[in-house]
Amino acid sequence: MEFKSKIKTIEWVDDYSKMVDQTVVPYEYKFVNITKGDDMFLAIRNMIVRGAPAIGIAGAHGVVLYAQELEKENLSREEFVAKLIEKAEYMKTSRPTAVNLMWACQKQIDVIKNSKSDIKGIIEELKQNGIKLENEDIEINKKIGDYGAEVVPKGATILTHCNAGALATVGYGTALGVVRSAYAKDNTIQVFADETRPRQQGARITTFELAMDGIPVTLITDGMCSYFMSKGMIDMVVVGADRIAANGDTANKIGTYTVAIAAKYHNIPFYIAAPLSTIDTSIQSGNEIPIEERSHEEVTHINGKRICAEGINIINPGFDVTPHELIAGIITEKGILRPDYNKSIAEAFSRI
Ligand code: MRU
């Protein structure tokens, strides 16, 4: 039986991009229409849309929006192509860590470079490619979900960190895709969701979407995970990824590394669930992954209210890197990759 999720995070409609505004979830579940390339850049940077695969699709849509704007400038085809590629390169810089963003913008650049059409034709090809990437994202997530469900024990409690769900993708989710596919086979499984300070994606978004889909979820604060592991209450961990190096080192939301260490200590399998588009084979290890530094206010304030003394130091990296030794498997659309990751990742890419 296939699990039907009610959530579609982002989609191309006529000549604009429609997305769930994730800055207001769970207080509101509302959609915003993005009609300009620069607005898409800001929507990604300010996390109206977030999650590696979702910002990839947003970037691809953003390139179409830029193309529509440039069409009005009466440029020659050559000028149009040169300016559009510049804009697509700029879109890649809207956030630095999730490689799906660069991957999807590059897919659009490839369309522009390979097109034999006039300006109107290029825009149409970019739209169609954006829609194709959207549809593929859901299909890929379902495959990830189905492969992952095979390693979920009966009646398992699955711990997850941040939100790697339908709202971090076009729909269905990666880590929560595994949960959805497992739940369709065994409705006695449940999720423990880490709160995920500072932006609380676990509390705000993961619990929201699981509750919406009727999957049992318990919210815990970030510091509680080892306690529940020590009590035998967690059977496995599944998280998403923003960028995976060729050796399997994985960047994901800050705090993931701590969860992985705790899981190792308690002999609990720690899995990454991610599409191959999250794997950056151009880098050898996690040391090369750029880590986003976000605003200090995310740490000093909750809901607009300062929670700490004035005049103190703040550091706010958005991601950390979990070393490959702590990862039991990387669940992809091509199956579950196991150590040695250098080998299994290369082998998975050879099957694309
Ligand atoms: O800063 P965010 O909310 O974009 O970070 C999201 C994550 O770290 C997710 O776990 C990751 O992108 C995987 S989403 C399927």
Asked if residue 51 has its Cβ within 6 Å of ligand 1, the reply is yes
The yes-or-no verdict on residue 253 having pLDDT over 80 is yes
Q: Indicate if 229 and 328 belong to the same structural domain.
A: yes
Residues 239/259, Cβ–Cβ less than 8 Å? yes
Query: For residue 5, what pLDDT band results from cuts at 50, 70 and 90?
Result: confident
Residue 321: its pLDDT value, please? 99
- Which atom of ligand 1 is nearest the CA belonging to 205? 3
Residue 38 sits in the same domain as residue 107 = yes
Q: Which CATH number is 16's domain given?
A: 1.20.120.420
* Whether pLDDT at 190 is above 80: yes
Q: Is 320 a catalytic residue?
A: no
Centroid of chain to Cα 206: 13
Residue range 208-236: mean pLDDT, rounded: 97
Q: Please, which residues bridge with residue 293 across strands? A: 317
* Token reading at 193: 């969701």
Choose the residue to mutate in 159, 162, 172 for probing ligand 1, maximizing ligand atoms within 8 Å of C-beta: 162
Decide whether any atom of ligand 1 lies within 6 Å of the 275 Cβ: no
Ordered DSSP codes for 279-311: EETT-SSGGGS---B--THHHHEETTEE-S-TT
Q: Do both 314 and 204 map to the same domain?
A: yes
Q: Note whether 211 and 101 are same-domain residues.
A: no
Q: Give the model confidence (pLDDT) of 6-31 as tens digits.
A: 789 999 999 999 999 999 999 999 99
Indicate whether 189 and 134 sit together in one domain: no
pLDDT band at residue 2 using 50, 70 and 90 as cut-offs: confident
The Cα–Cα gap between 305 and 328 comes to: 40
On whether residue 5 sits in a domain, the answer given is: no
Q: Is residue 90 part of a domain?
A: yes
Let me know whether 110 and 217 are in one domain: no
Q: Looking at the structure, tell me whether residues 336 and 206 fall in a common domain.
A: yes
Among 120, 141, 162, identify where a domain stops: 141
pLDDT in tens, 109-120: 999 999 999 999
Considering only CA atoms, which of 97, 104, 94 is closest in space to residue 251? 97
Question: Percent of the chain at pLDDT above 90?
Answer: 97
For ligand 1, is residue 201 a contact (CB within 6 Å)?
Answer: yes
Count: domains in the chain: 2
pLDDT for the residue 182: 98
* CB of 318 sitting under 6 A from ligand 1: yes
Q: Which atom of ligand 1 is nearest to the CA of 98?
A: 12
pTM exceeds 0.95: yes
Catalytic-role residue among 235, 242, 249, 320: 242
Which of 141, 170, 202 is at the close of a domain? 141
Residue numbers of the domain that contains 102: 10-141
State the pLDDT at residue 1.
Answer: 64
The string of pLDDT tens digits covering residues 316-326 is 999 999 999 99
Co-location of 130 and 217 in the same domain: no
- Kindly report the CATH number assigned to the domain that includes residue 206: 3.40.50.10470
Is 241 close to ligand 1, i.e. is its CB under 6 Å away?
A: yes
Same domain as 151, residue 280: yes
Return the higher-pLDDT residue of 3 and 329: 329
Residue 136 lies in a domain: yes
pLDDT at 220: 98
Q: Are residues 49 and 183 in the same domain?
A: no
Residue 51 CA, ligand 1 centroid: distance in Å: 4
- Residue 3's pLDDT is what? 81
